[in-house]
């Protein structure tokens, strides 16, 4: 299946940003706890939690990327309807870029709000989980 380099770059960027937003969603839903109420956690439990969150959020991003990829997929039909096919391709391309831009802006805003409103501990956990997502993207 042929897709342009711009579309491939847009899909990889979308996958990474959606993984970062999924990580922010997970660590933002935990809420902030004071040090007195927090359970002591070992290094192993932290690594397992951050790795699991990283992989799950990367897989959640795959579903969205698949939707966008299928939206951009171009099918060739009968020879008689070439002008209609080209108009359909143009509409799908415009829809792809509009939805991609809106979705990227929403995800980026969510990640920025997470980083602005949560403490350094949650931000560091988010960063580690996002690095796991990035490693999963580059290795697989």
Any alpha helices (H) in the chain, and if so which ranges?
5-30, 43-72, 82-117, 120-139
Tokens for 12?
A: 């990889």
> What is the reported pLDDT for 134?
79
Q: Give the residue extent of every domain in the chain.
A: 1-22+49-73+87-140
Q: How far apart are CA 98 and CA 13, in angstroms?
A: 15
Q: What is the signed CA dihedral for 14, 5, 67, 130, rounded to 10 degrees?
A: -20
Mean pLDDT, the chain cut into blocks of 10 residues (140 residues total)? 78 86 76 54 76 75 82 68 79 91 93 86 82 74
Model pTM? 0.72
> What is the reported pLDDT for 119?
80
> What is the reported pLDDT for 101?
95
């Amino acid at each position: 299946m042929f897709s342009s380099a711009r579309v491939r770059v847009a899909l990889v960027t979308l996958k990474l940003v959606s993984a970062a937003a999924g990580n922010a969603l997970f660590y933002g839903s935990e809420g902030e706890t004071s040090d007195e109420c927090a359970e002591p956690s070992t290094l192993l439990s932290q690594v397992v939690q951050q790795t699991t969150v990283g992989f799950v959020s990367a897989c959640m991003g795959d579903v969205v990327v698949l939707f966008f990829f299928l939206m951009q997929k171009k099918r060739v039909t009968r020879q008689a309807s070439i002008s209609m096919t080209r108009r359909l391709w143009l509409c799908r391309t415009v829809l792809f870029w509009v939805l991609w831009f809106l979705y990227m802006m929403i995800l980026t805003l969510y990640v920025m709000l997470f980083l602005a409103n949560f403490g350094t501990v949650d931000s560091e956990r988010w960063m580690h989980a996002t690095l796991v997502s990035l490693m999963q993207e580059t290795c697989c």
